[in-house]
Amino acid sequence: MKRRIIILLSLPIIFFTYTSNTFAAETGITSQTLVDLRILETTDIHADLINYDYYQTKVDNRIGLVKTSTLIREARKESKNTLLFDDGDHLKGNPLGEYLARIRGMHKGKTHPVYRAFNYLKYDAIAIGNHEFNYGLDFLKTALKGAKMPVLNANVFSVKTNKPYFKPYTILKRKIVDQSGKPHELKIGVIALMPTHIMKWDKANLEGKVFAKPMVETAKEFVPIIKAEGADIIIALAHTGISSEPYQDDTENAVYYLTQIPEIDVVLAGHSHSVFPGPVYKNLPNTNLETGEINGKPVVMAAAFGSRLGIIDLKLSHRNGKWQIVAQKSYTKSIADENGKSLVKTDKGLYRLVKEEHEEMVDFIKKLGL
pLDDT, tens only, 69-108: 999 999 999 999 999 999 999 999 999 999 999 998 887 7
Q: Is 168 contained in some domain?
A: yes
What does the alpha-carbon distance between residue 260 and residue 229 come to, in Å, rounded to a whole number?
A: 21
Q: Is 350 contained in some domain?
A: yes
Q: Which of 7-11, 254-258, 320-324 has the lowest mean pLDDT?
A: 7-11
Q: What percentage of the chain exceeds 70 in pLDDT?
A: 91
* Whether pLDDT at 228 is above 60: yes
Query: How many CB atoms lie under 10 A from the CB of residue 147?
Result: 18
* Whether pLDDT at 296 is above 60: yes
Number of compact structural domains in the chain: 1
Q: Say which CATH number the domain at 319 has.
A: 3.60.21.10
What does the alpha-carbon distance between residue 66 and residue 344 come to, in Å, rounded to a whole number?
A: 10
Q: Is 2 contained in some domain?
A: no
Q: Is 132 contained in some domain?
A: yes
* Whether pLDDT at 5 is above 70: no
CA 56 to chain centre: 29
* Whether pLDDT at 37 is above 50: yes
Amino acid in position 233:
I
Q: What is the pLDDT of residue 312?
A: 98
Is pTM beyond 0.95 here?
A: no
Q: What is the pLDDT of residue 28?
A: 47
What does the alpha-carbon distance between residue 340 and residue 178 come to, in Å, rounded to a whole number?
A: 39
pLDDT tens digit string along 306-338? 999 999 999 999 988 899 999 999 999 999 999
pLDDT tens digit string along 98-157? 999 999 888 777 899 999 999 999 999 999 999 999 999 999 999 999 999 999 999 999
Q: Is 34 contained in some domain?
A: no
The string of DSSP letters for 64-95 reads -HHHHHHHHHHHHHH-SSEEEEE-S--S-SSH
Q: Is 170 contained in some domain?
A: yes
Q: What is the pLDDT of residue 104?
A: 87
* Whether pLDDT at 31 is above 60: no
Q: What is the mean pLDDT of the chain?
A: 92
Where in the sequence is the domain holding 261, given as residue range(s)?
A: 43-367
Q: Which of these, 297, 304, 229, lies nearest to 272 by C-alpha position?
A: 304
pLDDT tens digit string along 259-289? 999 999 999 999 999 999 999 999 999 999 9
- pLDDT bucket at 173, cuts 50 / 70 / 90: very high
Parallel/antiparallel/unpaired status of strands 52-53 and 297-302: unpaired
Q: Which of these, 246, 289, 304, lies nearest to 87 by C-alpha position?
A: 304
Q: Is 49 contained in some domain?
A: yes
- pLDDT bucket at 10, cuts 50 / 70 / 90: very low
Distances (CA, A) of 242 to 17, 25, 88: 41, 39, 16
